[in-house]
Structures are given as structure tokens and as C-alpha cells.
């Protein structure tokens, strides 16, 4: 038997893979190319998007300043938690510390530690435009001053280092232009008011309240660049190896510092593993339930068209055109034809003859039957020289319904009469 010796009815797995690869060649190539492009784009994409980030090359980033510092051999260590900053400070006892405050305050204990470090001689620079936050962190020592005024075109006012400026970098820069705030202090540079400065000296270290000045956008304005390199370079330049610890307080310190925790922390230990496991279960369920037994089977359907389509369409056309006269005429001729067949009058019988026979059979009034069966057209037909006259639309639709009903009733009566007549015979 040939079936016993024949080969399987599908290709072996290797051949099937080859066939599939050939069939999907285009899409496979497309997917590979897309993946390669995405990978390259990902690798080329180095800039970050954090505001005042040292690798952010956008207008609000510090990439320009950071790269110049790195060219000068300054090593930047970015940290986001007080604990990490503390560890780095232990490793590099001489390294300068930059605290970049955005809207999250640093750990309280760390602020106190920094104060001690400043006393011990470490360079600490606070950078923040949020002067209220600095006021909160430093307590009574630092009070927020007025904001830097704006010039005519909306750009910030140019500030000068001022006569009571103790910092050499500020004196070198001599001028500053950037939006920002100020602090009330006894001594400082770049006065906004008579006792409030943009760069002020506190017991916690230097505080600079116009961080916009060092962004890629504003770094080239006035003496901004000289001030940035002077301040940051001086902070780093304590030892042979120039190191700068760049600390940005973030949510990581928050939980420990404040005495509330997220409800997620109080969940039992098995919660997250179980959640992952259930997600795996759901994936298995989807794959198992979604697997079909082979391709979808289609049904070649035969064509069918509703037979009354044309008739229904014509009825709607009559209605849209309000074709009362035409409708009356069609109904009349249909009933005339049927009545003449019922009454045995033959094909050529005139409407008058049919009307007479019908009224006689059904015992209806002859005039009424004539009005029904002959209609307005017959009046014209009776008068000579009027063969071109067309039926007028004198009836309203409600009259037409009554007329159609009466025609049907007449036919029914004739039928009944004929039936009883036949039965009695």
C-alpha cells in the first residue's frame, strides 16, 4: 500500500523553518534594520533631561560647565542620596561639595554635618533658586530676599560684584546676568538690594541663588562663565586630585527622614512575588487559550438577493415623489384586470362594463363603483379632444388610502358573492 511507504504530509521542521524564513524575509529584514537603528539611536543618545543635570545638553542643562571642568581634570561624582554623599566625603576628605537644591530639602542630619565640615575647612557650595527652601533648611540665618529684577526686554538685570564682595571668583567675574533670587546676608556678592545678595556666605557654606546663570543657555552671558568656573573650580581645588561631589537631594532621603511610609511598605513579603507569578499565569493562560487548531476556516457563501428589493424600492420612490395619481392608476388597473378575470368578462372589457358587472355582483351602488374604478382619467377620456389630459393629483394621501381600501373591499365582496353564487348553483 502506497500510504505505508509514503513520506509524511508536511515538510520536516528544518525545511518548514526555511520556508517560513523565505516567506517572511522582508519583514524579518525590516525588523532587524529597525532594531539596529533603535540600538544606534539609543547609544548615540547620551544627554539626560534632568534640569541642571551635568550631562543635560539642552538649554536648562549644565553640560557645558561640566565638560569644561572635566577638561581641567575635575572629577564629578553625582549622588542623589545623603548616604552616598556621606560615603564619598569620607573617601575624599578634601573634595568640595556642591548641593543642588531643586524642590526637595536635603536630609536634616546631613545639613548639620555639612555645617561641621565647613567649619573644618571643606568647600561647600549650595546652588538653588528656591530661596524659601534655603530659608527652611538654614533656619533663621538665611532669609529670602527680593528676586533679581528684569530689564526692558524681559531679560534679567545685570548685577555687579559690589564693593563688599569677599570672594575672589566673584571679583574676577565682576558681573552676572541670569534670573534668580537672593538672600539677606551680612556679606556677599552681586547685591540685589542693599542687604541681599545672589552669592552670600553663610555658616553652611557659600549659597548661590541664581542657578540659571550656569545653564547652557546663560553661561556665555556677562561674567557667568568666569563665576561658574571660579566657584566650582575653587571648590574642587583643594588637593592633588580635584574632586567635586555633586549632591542633588531626591526622594531617596525622604522616606527615612520623615516619619511616614508608603502603604506598599506594609504589604506582606509574598505580595510582590505572588503578583509576578499571577502575571506569569495570565500570560500562560493567554497563550494557551489563544492557540487555534490550525488556520481559520472560511465559508464560501453563495450570492442571494432579496427578491422584493426592486418592488420595495419602487414603492419608496412613489412615496418620495408623492405620486398619488400614478399610485391610484396602478391600483385601479390592477383591480380592473382582476375583476374582469373574476367576472369572466375577457381581456378587452371596458372599465364601464366591469364596473357595471361588479356593482351588480357585489350589490354595491353603481356610481360608487364607477367612481372607484374609472377615476378622474375617465372623465377626460369621455370628453372628446382631451386624450392628452393627464390625471391630476387631486387626492390627498389619506384619500388615496381610503380609495385603495375600498378597491380591496370591492374585490373581496365580488369574490365572496361569486363563491356563494357558485355554492347555491
Partner 1 sequence: MLTLRCFWVALGMSVVVMLVPQWLWLWLGILAAAVLVDLMACASPRTVRVTRIPAQPTRAGTPITVVSRLQNQGRRTLRGWAKDGWQPTASPRQAVQPVQLRGRSTVELEVTLEPQRRGELRSEHLTIRSLGPLGLAGRQVVHRVPHTVQVLPQFASRRHLPSMLRRLRELDGASAVQLRGAGTEFDSLRDYVRGDDVRSIDWRATARRQDAAGQHLVVRTWRPERDRRIILCLDSSRTSAARIDDGPRLDAGVESSLLLGALAAHAGDRVDFLAFAREVTARASSSERGTFLNLLSLAVSRVEPTLVEADFSQLPGEIAALTTHRSLVVIVTAADSPALQEGLLPVLPALTSKHRVVVASVRNPELLQQAAARGSVAEVYAAAAAERAMIEAAAIAAELHARGVELVEAEPDALPAALADCYIRLKATGKL
What residues line the site for partner 1 (CB under 8 A)?
3-4, 6-13, 16, 269-270, 272-274, 276-278, 280-281, 284-285, 287-289, 291, 293-295, 297-300, 302-312, 314-316, 318-319, 323, 326-327, 330-331, 333-334, 337, 397-398, 400-401, 404-405, 408
Rg (CA), the chain: 50
Note whether 206 and 231 are within 8 A (CB).
Answer: yes
Residue 91 backbone class (left: φ over 0; alpha: ψ -120 to 50; beta: rest): alpha
* Nearer Cβ to partner 1 (194/291): 291
**CA-to-CA separations, 211 to 99, 288, 379, in angstroms, rounded:** 11, 57, 104
Of 376, 372, 375, 378, the C-alpha closest to 358 is 372
CB of 393 to partner 1, least distance (A): 14
Q: Which is nearer to partner 1, 184 or 403 (CB)?
A: 403
CB of 348 to partner 1, least distance (A): 12
Report helix, strand or coil for 253: helix
CB of 379 to partner 1, least distance (A): 21
Nearer to partner 1 by Cβ, of 4 and 383: the residue is 4
User: Which residue's CB is nearer to partner 1, number 59 or number 269?
Assistant: 269
Give DSSP secondary structure letters for 56-81: --STT--HHHHHHHHHTTPEEEEESS
Q: Enter the DSSP assignment of 332.
A: H
In angstroms, what is the minimal distance from the CB of 261 to partner 1? 20
- Residue 24 vs 277, nearer CB to partner 1: 277
C-alpha cell at 211: 542657578
Q: What does the DSSP 8-state code read for residue 186?
A: S
Minimum gap (Å) between residue 342 Cβ and partner 1: 14
CB distance 167 to 199 below 8 Å = yes
Residue 208 C-beta: closest distance to partner 1, Å: 48
Cβ proximity to partner 1: between 15 and 36 the closer is: 15
Tell which residue, 82, 237, 205, 235, has the closest CA to residue 141.
205
260 vs 293, which CB is nearer to partner 1? 293
Cell of 306: 432579496
Smallest gap from residue 399 Cβ to partner 1 (A) = 10
Amino acid at each position: 500500500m502506497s500510504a505505508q511507504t509514503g513520506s509524511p504530509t508536511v515538510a520536516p521542521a528544518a525545511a518548514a523553518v526555511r520556508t517560513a524564513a523565505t516567506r517572511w524575509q522582508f519583514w524579518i529584514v525590516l525588523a532587524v534594520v529597525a532594531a539596529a537603528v533603535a540600538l544606534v539611536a539609543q547609544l548615540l543618545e547620551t544627554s539626560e533631561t534632568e534640569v541642571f543635570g551635568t550631562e543635560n545638553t539642552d538649554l536648562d542643562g549644565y553640560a557645558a560647565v561640566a565638560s569644561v571642568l572635566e577638561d581641567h581634570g575635575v572629577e564629578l561624582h553625582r549622588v542623589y542620596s545623603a548616604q552616598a554623599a556621606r560615603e564619598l566625603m569620607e573617601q575624599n576628605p578634601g573634595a568640595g561639595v556642591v548641593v543642588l537644591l531643586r524642590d526637595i530639602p536635603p536630609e536634616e542630619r546631613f545639613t548639620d554635618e555639612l555645617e561641621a565640615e565647613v567649619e573644618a575647612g571643606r568647600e561647600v557650595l549650595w546652588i538653588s533658586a528656591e530661596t524659601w527652601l534655603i530659608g527652611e533648611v538654614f533656619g533663621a540665618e538665611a532669609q529670602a530676599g527680593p528676586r533679581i529684577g528684569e530689564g526692558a526686554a524681559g531679560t534679567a538685570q545685570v548685577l555687579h560684584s559690589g564693593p563688599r564682595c569677599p570672594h575672589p571668583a566673584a571679583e574676577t567675574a565682576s558681573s552676572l546676568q541670569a534670573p534668580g533670587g537672593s538672600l539677606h546676608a551680612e556679606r556677599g556678592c552681586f547685591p540685589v538690594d542693599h542687604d541681599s545678595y545672589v552669592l552670600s556666605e553663610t555658616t553652611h557654606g557659600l549659597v548661590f541663588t541664581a542657578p540659571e546663570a550656569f545653564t547652557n543657555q546663560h553661561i556665555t552671558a556677562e561674567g557667568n562663565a568666569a563665576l561658574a568656573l571660579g566657584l566650582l573650580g575653587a571648590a574642587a581645588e583643594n588637593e592633588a586630585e580635584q574632586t567635586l561631589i555633586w549632591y542633588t537631594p531626591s526622594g531617596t532621603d525622604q522616606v527615612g527622614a520623615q516619619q511616614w511610609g508608603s502603604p506598599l511598605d506594609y504589604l506582606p513579603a509574598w505580595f510582590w512575588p505572588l503578583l509576578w507569578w499571577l502575571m506569569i499565569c495570565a500570560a500562560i493562560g493567554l497563550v494557551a487559550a489563544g492557540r487555534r487548531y490550525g488556520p481559520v476556516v472560511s465559508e464560501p457563501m453563495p450570492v442571494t438577493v432579496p427578491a422584493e428589493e426592486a418592488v420595495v424600492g419602487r414603492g419608496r420612490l412613489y412615496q418620495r415623489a408623492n405620486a398619488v395619481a400614478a399610485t391610484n392608476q396602478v391600483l385601479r388597473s390592477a383591480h380592473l384586470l382582476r375583476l374582469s378575470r373574476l367576472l369572466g368578462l375577457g381581456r378587452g372589457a371596458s372599465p364601464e362594463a366591469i364596473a357595471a358587472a361588479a356593482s351588480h355582483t357585489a350589490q354595491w351602488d353603481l356610481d360608487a363603483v364607477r367612481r372607484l374604478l374609472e377615476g378622474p382619467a375617465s372623465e377626460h377620456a369621455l370628453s372628446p379632444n382631451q386624450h392628452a389630459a393627464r390625471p391630476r393629483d387631486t387626492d390627498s394621501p389619506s384619500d388615496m388610502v381610503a380609495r385603495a381600501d375600498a378597491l380591496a373591499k370591492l374585490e373581496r365582496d365580488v369574490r365572496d358573492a361569486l363563491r356563494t353564487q357558485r355554492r347555491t348553483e
